[in-house]
Amino acid sequence: MQASNDLSVRAESVWKIYPQEPAPVEAVRGVTLDVATGDFVALAGPSGSGKTTLLNMLGGLTRPTRGAVRLRGIELADLSAAALARVRLEHVGFVFQAYNLLPVLSALENAEFTLLLRGVPEDERRRRVLDLFGRIGMAGMEDRRPAKLSGGQQQRVAVARAVVGRPAIVLADEPTANLDSVTSEALLDVMEQLNRVERTTFVFATHDPRVMQRARRLVRLVDGVIASDERTAPVQGV
């Protein structure tokens, strides 16, 4: 499988239709979207606009009803479930609205989990996570399990897990939800630094003005289609 060096992800005429009575729901309708390596993109729109569904299709979590998604040049529809899981592990960081932390693991163990799956040595895993926790206000909370963390703290652990492995692309669904303004800005600072230094690509599904202001490209969705696509700054590294 040959990966592309200049295009992180491409959705080509993708549809997502959910069977439902009395009529099917067309969550995403014929969207084509190219995201270049090093971009910092916000998918914005009201609830029900299709932004989360599109984000999940870009990461291979949801298969489109019609159309194609290519992640770093790899056609996701061609992959088995195991191969798709491997591509996601190696190339993608996810931030979920529901956090998806493992309740039996500590904050530190949750944050380092993808590094563990990749086979990164323990000392290196701990060094990376502790450094990141210090930058996002989680120092001293490493041993707490999710049940002992606030929603905002769980969100910070989820963001740390997504970015600590320095993936090629991070897909973040409302990453600043439940966070105060200071913590939100700190997390966005970390993401912008990764984007600038590592050329990590970021795509956010959001309705937070703070994220939209930081984005260098703002894609607005309405009723499952792209209503506008505006670039406010060049792609990082281009």
One-letter-per-residue 3-state SS of 108-177: HHHHCHHHHHHCCCHHHHHHHHHHHHHHCCCCCCCCCCHHHCCHHHHHHHHHHHHHCCCCCEEEEECCCC
pLDDT at 79 over 60: yes
Segment among 5-19, 103-117, 120-134, 215-229 with least mean pLDDT: 5-19
The angle, 0 to 180 degrees and rounded to 10, between the axes of the packed helices 151-163 and 122-135 is: 130
Residue 236 lies in a domain: no
Mean pLDDT, the chain, as a whole number?
Answer: 92
**pLDDT score for 1:** 38
**pLDDT score for 237:** 76
Higher pLDDT, 96 or 110: 110
Contact predicate 209/185, CB 8 Å: no
Residue 6's pLDDT band (boundaries 50, 70, 90)? confident
Tens digits of residue pLDDT in 58-70: 999 999 999 999 9
Residue 233 lies in a domain: no
Residue 234 lies in a domain: no
**pLDDT score for 4:** 45
Share of the chain above pLDDT 70, in %: 97
Q: How far is the first Cα of the chain from the last one, in angstroms, to the nearest whole number?
A: 25
Residue 175 lies in a domain: yes
pTM metric for this prediction: 0.91
Residue 7's pLDDT band (boundaries 50, 70, 90)? confident
Residue 231 lies in a domain: no
The total number of structural domains in the chain stands at: 1
Tens digits of residue pLDDT in 20-52: 889 999 999 999 999 999 999 999 999 999 999
Residue 178's pLDDT band (boundaries 50, 70, 90)? confident
**Domain coverage including residue 54:** 7-226
Residue 37 lies in a domain: yes
pLDDT at 184 over 60: yes
Segment among 177-181, 210-214, 221-225 with least mean pLDDT: 177-181
pLDDT at 121 over 90: yes
Residue 14 lies in a domain: yes
Q: What CATH number is given to the structural domain containing 88?
A: 3.40.50.300
**pLDDT score for 85:** 93
Residue 1 lies in a domain: no
